[in-house]
Protein backbone atom coordinates (compact mmCIF):
# COMPACT_ATOMS: atom_id res chain seq x y z
CA UNK A 1 0.00 0.00 0.00
CA UNK A 2 1.44 3.37 -0.96
CA UNK A 3 2.02 6.02 1.68
CA UNK A 4 0.02 8.52 -0.35
CA UNK A 5 -3.06 6.29 -0.47
CA UNK A 6 -2.65 5.56 3.23
CA UNK A 7 -2.55 9.30 4.02
CA UNK A 8 -5.49 10.05 1.73
CA UNK A 9 -7.58 7.34 3.33
CA UNK A 10 -6.69 8.55 6.83
CA UNK A 11 -7.68 12.09 5.89
CA UNK A 12 -10.93 10.87 4.35
CA UNK A 13 -11.72 8.90 7.52
CA UNK A 14 -11.01 11.99 9.62
CA UNK A 15 -13.33 14.08 7.45
CA UNK A 16 -16.18 11.54 7.53
CA UNK A 17 -15.91 10.92 11.28
CA UNK A 18 -15.78 14.67 11.99
CA UNK A 19 -18.96 15.09 9.98
CA UNK A 20 -20.61 12.21 11.84
CA UNK A 21 -19.66 13.68 15.22
CA UNK A 22 -21.00 17.07 14.16
CA UNK A 23 -24.25 16.04 12.46
CA UNK A 24 -25.27 12.47 13.25
CA UNK A 25 -24.45 11.73 16.89
CA UNK A 26 -27.07 12.97 19.31
CA UNK A 27 -25.20 12.10 22.52
CA UNK A 28 -24.76 15.37 24.47
CA UNK A 29 -21.54 14.02 26.00
CA UNK A 30 -19.94 14.20 22.55
CA UNK A 31 -20.62 17.89 21.94
CA UNK A 32 -17.47 19.79 21.16
CA UNK A 33 -15.42 16.65 20.49
CA UNK A 34 -12.94 17.04 17.68
CA UNK A 35 -10.85 14.51 15.82
CA UNK A 36 -7.27 15.72 15.90
CA UNK A 37 -5.56 12.96 13.93
CA UNK A 38 -6.14 9.62 12.20
CA UNK A 39 -3.39 7.09 11.64
CA UNK A 40 -4.11 4.02 9.56
CA UNK A 41 -1.97 0.92 9.05
CA UNK A 42 -0.59 -0.13 5.68
CA UNK A 43 -3.29 -2.73 5.07
CA UNK A 44 -6.08 -0.26 5.93
CA UNK A 45 -7.39 -2.68 8.57
CA UNK A 46 -6.89 -0.60 11.73
CA UNK A 47 -7.39 3.12 12.25
CA UNK A 48 -6.11 4.90 15.35
CA UNK A 49 -8.28 7.95 15.89
CA UNK A 50 -7.18 10.67 18.31
CA UNK A 51 -9.91 12.84 19.84
CA UNK A 52 -10.11 15.75 22.24
CA UNK A 53 -12.94 17.77 23.78
CA UNK A 54 -11.52 21.15 22.77
CA UNK A 55 -9.08 21.36 25.67
CA UNK A 56 -11.51 20.17 28.36
CA UNK A 57 -9.45 17.37 29.92
CA UNK A 58 -12.04 16.78 32.66
CA UNK A 59 -14.40 15.19 30.12
CA UNK A 60 -11.97 12.52 28.97
CA UNK A 61 -13.62 9.54 30.69
CA UNK A 62 -17.21 10.36 29.67
CA UNK A 63 -16.19 11.16 26.08
CA UNK A 64 -14.24 7.93 25.67
CA UNK A 65 -17.12 5.91 27.17
CA UNK A 66 -19.61 7.54 24.80
CA UNK A 67 -17.37 6.90 21.79
CA UNK A 68 -17.04 3.23 22.74
CA UNK A 69 -20.85 2.98 22.76
CA UNK A 70 -21.09 4.66 19.34
CA UNK A 71 -18.18 2.72 17.77
CA UNK A 72 -20.43 0.25 15.89
CA UNK A 73 -22.56 3.03 14.41
CA UNK A 74 -19.45 5.00 13.43
CA UNK A 75 -17.83 2.01 11.71
CA UNK A 76 -21.01 1.14 9.83
CA UNK A 77 -21.46 4.73 8.62
CA UNK A 78 -17.78 4.95 7.73
CA UNK A 79 -18.06 1.75 5.66
CA UNK A 80 -20.92 3.21 3.65
CA UNK A 81 -19.10 6.51 2.96
CA UNK A 82 -15.47 5.48 2.39
CA UNK A 83 -14.52 3.23 -0.50
CA UNK A 84 -12.29 0.50 0.93
CA UNK A 85 -12.51 -3.25 0.65
CA UNK A 86 -13.23 -3.61 4.37
CA UNK A 87 -14.07 -0.97 6.94
CA UNK A 88 -11.11 -0.59 9.29
CA UNK A 89 -11.35 -1.41 12.97
CA UNK A 90 -11.63 1.86 14.85
CA UNK A 91 -9.41 2.43 17.87
CA UNK A 92 -10.12 5.70 19.67
CA UNK A 93 -7.50 7.40 21.84
CA UNK A 94 -7.52 10.60 23.88
CA UNK A 95 -5.14 13.19 22.43
CA UNK A 96 -3.26 15.03 25.22
CA UNK A 97 -1.43 17.39 22.83
CA UNK A 98 -3.87 20.29 23.36
CA UNK A 99 -3.37 20.14 27.13
CA UNK A 100 0.41 20.04 26.70
CA UNK A 101 0.32 23.03 24.36
CA UNK A 102 -1.80 24.96 26.86
CA UNK A 103 0.67 24.17 29.67
CA UNK A 104 3.58 25.36 27.54
CA UNK A 105 1.74 28.58 26.69
CA UNK A 106 1.10 29.22 30.40
CA UNK A 107 4.78 28.63 31.17
CA UNK A 108 5.86 30.98 28.40
CA UNK A 109 3.39 33.64 29.50
CA UNK A 110 4.69 33.37 33.07
CA UNK A 111 8.30 34.02 32.11
CA UNK A 112 9.70 37.36 33.19
CA UNK A 113 12.08 38.32 30.41
CA UNK A 114 13.43 41.87 30.64
CA UNK A 115 13.23 43.83 27.43
CA UNK A 116 16.51 44.78 25.84
CA UNK A 117 17.00 48.20 24.34
CA UNK A 118 19.11 49.05 21.33
CA UNK A 119 21.46 51.23 23.39
CA UNK A 120 22.37 48.39 25.73
CA UNK A 121 22.81 46.04 22.79
CA UNK A 122 25.10 48.50 21.01
CA UNK A 123 27.26 49.10 24.10
CA UNK A 124 27.65 45.37 24.70
CA UNK A 125 28.75 44.90 21.08
CA UNK A 126 31.31 47.69 21.44
CA UNK A 127 32.79 45.95 24.49
CA UNK A 128 33.08 42.68 22.58
CA UNK A 129 34.93 44.35 19.70
CA UNK A 130 37.64 45.72 22.01
The pLDDT tens digits along the chain (130 residues) read: 578 888 999 999 999 999 999 998 888 888 889 899 999 999 889 999 999 987 677 888 999 999 999 999 999 999 999 888 888 999 999 988 776 677 787 888 888 788 887 655 555 555 555 5
Domain total in the chain: 1
Q: Which stretch of DSSP H or E encloses residue 93? A: strand 89-94
What is the extent of the structural domain holding 80?
3-129
Task: Tell me the CATH number at 65.
Answer: 3.30.300.20
Q: Note the pLDDT of residue 70.
A: 93
Cα separation of 105 and 27, whole Å?
Answer: 32
Cα separation of 82 and 87, whole Å?
Answer: 8
Helices (H), 1-130: 3-23, 60-81, 97-110, 118-129
Q: Could you tell me which residues come within 8 angstroms of residue 43 by beta carbon, excluding any fewer than 6 positions away? A: 1
Amino acid sequence: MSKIRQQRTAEQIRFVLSDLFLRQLSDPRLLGVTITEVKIDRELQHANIYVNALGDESRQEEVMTSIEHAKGFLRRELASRVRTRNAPQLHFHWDPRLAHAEEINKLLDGLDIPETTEASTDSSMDEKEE
